[in-house]
Structure 1
Amino acid sequence: MQFAIKSCLDVVIWFSDRALNDREYIQPQKLHRLMFLAQAYYTVAYPGRKLMPATFVTDNFGPVEPTVFHAFAYGRPPHLEGNPVPDQAAHFLDSIWRRFGQYSADQLNKRLNEHPAVAAAMNKGPNEEVPFAEMVKFYQGEAAAKGAAPSADQVVRPRVMRSQSGKPVAVKGWNPKALTPKKPE
C-alpha cells in the first residue's frame, strides 16, 4: 500500500498549523477526528492508496490514532517540525479542513460515532481497532447513499489550474474504473 504522506505526525502538524493560521486552537479530539476523516476519504478519492500510515482505535469518545495520542498527550512536543507535505496531499488536507474544520470536536464525535465501522468498534470497547476496510466501504458509497456523510466528490475540491489561454479550469486526477472479470461461458 502506498502512502501519500510518510508519517501521521506530518498530518497532525499540518492540521495544527492550519488551525493556527485560521486563529483557532484545535482540540486533540477534533484533530483525531479530522485525521480519521482524511484517511477514509483519501482512500476513496485515490483508490489503493492511504494518506498516511495510521491505525485508528476507539477511546471513550471516538476513533484516535494511538501514536499521535501518546506523542501529543501533553500538547505539541517542543521542537517538533513536520516534513513538507506533497502538493496533492496538501490540497486534499485543505479540502478536509474546509469541509469539516468548522465543526466542533463534539459535533465530529457525534457524526463519526454513528458510522457503522466506528460504532461496531466502540461497542466492543476501548482500544478496539476500527477496520480500515470497513472505513473505506462506508465512505465509498454507503455514506452518501444514506446521507450520513458527504461523498468524496463533495469533500475534495477540484484543483484549479490555468489553460494555455489563462482561463481557470478545474482538474482532477484520472481514476480508471476497476475492470470486472468476465464470466466464462
Structure 2
Amino acid sequence: MLTYLLLGFVAVLIVTGVLIYNRLVSRSQMADNGWSDIDVQLKRRANLIPQLVTTVKSYAAHERDLFVEVTEKRAQAMAAGDDLASRGAAESALSQPVARLMAIAEDYPDMKASGNFLELQRELSDTEDKIEMARRFYNGAVRELNTSVQSFPANLVAGPLGFRQRAYFEVDMADRALPEIDMGGVS
C-alpha cells in the first residue's frame, strides 16, 4: 500500500513538472512571437525612413543636418540587434529626428499636398501604431513568462531548465511624442 502511495506521489510530481514545463515553453514562445512582431514593424519603419528622407529632401534641401542625423540614427537602430535596452534607446533616439522630419512638412505646403508624402506619412503613422500594439503584446507575454518563472513551484523547474526572466521593451514616450503643429488658430 505504501508503495502505491509513493508511486502515486511520484507520478503526480512528474505530471506537475511536465505541466509546468509546458506552460513555461508556451509563455516563452509567446514572448518570442511578440519580439518577432516588434522586430518586423521596426524593420518596416526603418525601410520607410529612406523614402521619407528622399521625399523631404526634394522640398527642403537645406535641412542637410537633419537628413544626416536621421540616417545615422537609423543605422544605429538597425545595428542595435535584439538587446532590448540598446534597441529601445536606439529606437527612441531615431524617433526624435523622424518627428522633426515630419514637422518640416508644415513649412512646405506643396510637400504636404504631395500624394507620395501623404502616403509615406500614413504608412509611417500606421507602422508606429503597429509597433505600439506589438510592444504591448510582447510586454504582456513577458509579464506572464516572468510571473511564471518567479512563482512557486514553477521557479523550481524554470531555473534548472534554463527559463529566465526577460526584459520589457520600453521606448521613452517623451521621445516618441509627435511635434506640436500650429494649425494657424484652427482647433
Same-fold call, TM cutoff 0.5? no
Q: Which has the higher contact order (CA 8 A, sep 6+)?
A: 2
TM range, normalised to the smaller chain?
under 0.3
Q: Choose between structure 1 and 2: higher helix proportion.
A: 2
Query: Which is strand-richer, 1 or 2?
Result: 1
